[in-house]
Amino acid sequence: MTDMDRRAFFSSSLKKATTKAVQYADNKAAKKAGQWFRPPYAINELDFLLACTRCGECISACEFGVLFSLPAKYGSTAFKTPAMDLINKGCHLCTDWPCVAVCEPAALKKPEAVVQVTLQTDENTEVVEDKAEPVDNSAPPKMALAKISDERCLPYRGPECGACRSSCKVEGALGWDLTKPVINPVLCCGCGLCRQACITDPSSIMIHTLLPE
């Protein structure tokens, strides 16, 4: 093995070890975040904790009062970071996403695509540069996943209900099998509005985290 091969081998090994360490830390942080839910378009948990300045601007921007600041009981790392309690109050999927718009450190950030643009210089020469542009995506971000309990949901037990029928803002996410509500897991973004509309106690709709176990 030549010196160049050795350097390439050790460089590759170091890169793999670093990647695994970052993934482990990210998954560990994500497990703690599974007790609540991050705001829409939150970046991955480890990067979120590093980027968020705990300024509270996104919380103030939410006119429905869905976002709140995590208390100290969740640990010093997560203390004062924004979160949602989708179990009790659903995200209204605002069209302009004000909570994301006010986030200067980009802890909340809509996805972007890198495109190449051609610039004209003073010497009439063309320069091609990469530019990040927002992805044109009308689908809301995945925050969680709603599931219906057929043991609690009234239409599954006999009587009709329909309390959640008009609650869903995502086309096709909440469908109907005659009188029974059915959630499409592919389209459901986990906003929690259907759970908020549910009239059974305890609720027939459960909100599950998408974060790794």
| Closest to 175 (Cα-Cα) out of 141, 203, 148 | 148
Whole-number pLDDT of residue 112: 72
pLDDT for 128: 55
pLDDT of residue 139: 85
d(CA 156, CA 34): 29
From the list 92, 90, 91, the residue with the least C-alpha distance to 203 is 90
Pinpoint the residues of the chain covered by CATH 3.30.70.20: 145-208
- Residue 166 phi/psi, 5° resolution? -100, 10
**pLDDT in 10s for each residue of the chain, 213 residues:** 565 555 555 455 544 544 454 455 445 444 454 568 999 999 999 999 999 999 999 999 999 999 999 999 999 999 999 999 999 999 999 999 999 999 999 999 998 755 555 555 566 655 555 555 555 567 899 999 999 999 999 999 988 899 999 999 999 999 999 999 999 999 999 999 999 999 999 999 999 988 554
Cβ partners under 8 Å of residue 41, min gap 6: 97, 100, 108, 109, 110, 111, 141
Domain range 145-208, CATH architecture:
2-Layer Sandwich (3.30)
List the Cα angle 176/180/186 in 5-degree steps. Answer: 50
Between CA 60 and CA 102 the distance in angstroms is 10
pLDDT, position 199 = 97
Collapse the DSSP code of 2 into the 3-class scheme (helix H, G, I; strand E, B; otherwise coil) and give the result: coil
**Burial code of 127-151, b = ≥16 C-beta within 10 A, e = fewer?**
eeeeeeeeeeeeebbebbebbbeee
Q: How far is CA 211 from the centre of its chain?
A: 9
C-alpha to C-alpha distances, 212 to 31, 32, 112, nearest whole angstrom:
7, 10, 24
pLDDT score of 116: 54
Please state, in angstroms and rounded to a whole number, the distance separating the CA atoms of residues 103 and 109. Answer: 8
Residue 202: cis peptide before it, omega within 30 degrees of 0: yes
Amino acid 141 reads: P
**Residue 167: count of CB within 10 angstroms of its CB:** 18
